[in-house]
Structure 1
Amino acid sequence: MLNTPSPTISSFGYEIIRDHVLSSVLGKHEDEVLYWAGKDLARKFPCKTQGELIAFFADACWGTLELIKESKDGRIFHLTNDPELLQIKQRSFRLEAGFIAEQIQLANGYLTECYDEKREKQQYIMFTVKWDVKERIIQTIPTE
């Protein structure tokens, strides 16, 4: 068997697609489409635990996701990444927000939304996750 190196995607190539091609194609609907795409990705790559969610972010090279605060109806995560990526004004983090929302919704069974906020000075993205304990969703994945 031939020992060939596995193909890798350069961060430059990823940034071209993420920051320029997608925004050109999606236009003013970029944030909404990316959010729903993130939810769809979460259904295709379900994470059964919070640890798997955090590992997925690392494996996808989306950055380091960290749980900061948890309450009965929400969570706050911080995402750190290359500080240069946070300086890109048009960079949307709605894909990641949709992914987080759907993963938590699948795990806890309640209607869940996630909002992202870029904190450039602190060099992280804050994701605020909220779920409605009055809005039960049938589809869930068993957690460990």
Structure 2
Amino acid sequence: MTHIHNTVPAFGYEIIRDYLLPTILGKHEKDVLYWAGKDLARKFPCTDIQLIISFFQDAGWGVLTLDKEEKDGYIFHLTNDADLLKIEERSFRLEAGFIAQQIQALQGCLTECFDEKREKQQQVVFTLKWDKKEKVD
């Protein structure tokens, strides 16, 4: 059986992501996108960090790299072609929620992710922190 991979043109993705969603979600955009990212992670579970990185690449979200491991968290960087990331105008809460839920499932404890745009470097930094005292199923 042959699979044909159709790709969504970048312009079509940008219309939805950068114009339609902010219009629909309004002032709740960041919160809704974070929880939508967590829900998306439940639908596409990744059993290790490399699969999370691969998911980002496959989804066209950019190149995610694990920069630092700490005892209670991770720091990831997201980079890509400047035209694709749209750092200045895009919220990255969808990606943050996705990573938070994936790491929470891997660690088995409450995990939060904070995103920081670094426009000059054309990258987004995701800082994850978990609490080993707050176990989750």
Fold in common (TM above 0.5): yes
Deviation at 1:81, TM superposition (A): 1.6
Question: After superposition, where does 1:38-49 map in structure 2 within 5 Å?
Answer: 38-49=37-48
Aligned mates of 2:43, 2:85 — CA distance in 1: 27
Distance 1:6 1:29, change over 3 A: same
Q: Give structure 2 stretches of 5+ with no counterpart.
A: none
Aligned mates of 1:106, 1:84 — CA distance in 2: 32
- Per-residue CA deviation, residues 102-136 of structure 1 (Å, 9 max, x unaligned), is 00000110100000000011111000000011111
CA RMSD in angstroms, aligned pairs only: 1.8
- What residue in structure 2 maps to residue 135 of structure 1? 134
8 Å CA contact retained: 1:87, 1:120: no
TM-score by length of 1: 0.89
- Per-residue CA deviation, residues 70-106 of structure 1 (Å, 9 max, x unaligned), is 0110000000022134555330000000000000000
TM-score by length of 2: 0.94
Q: Give structure 1 stretches of 5+ with no counterpart.
A: 140-144
8 Å CA contact retained: 2:88, 2:119: no
Any idea what SS the aligned residue of 1:132 has? strand
Any idea what SS the aligned residue of 1:8 has? coil
Identity %: 65
8 Å CA contact retained: 1:34, 1:94: yes
**Higher mean Cα deviation, 128-137 or 93-102?**
128-137
The structure with more radius of gyration:
1
The count of residues paired between Structure 1 and Structure 2 equals 137
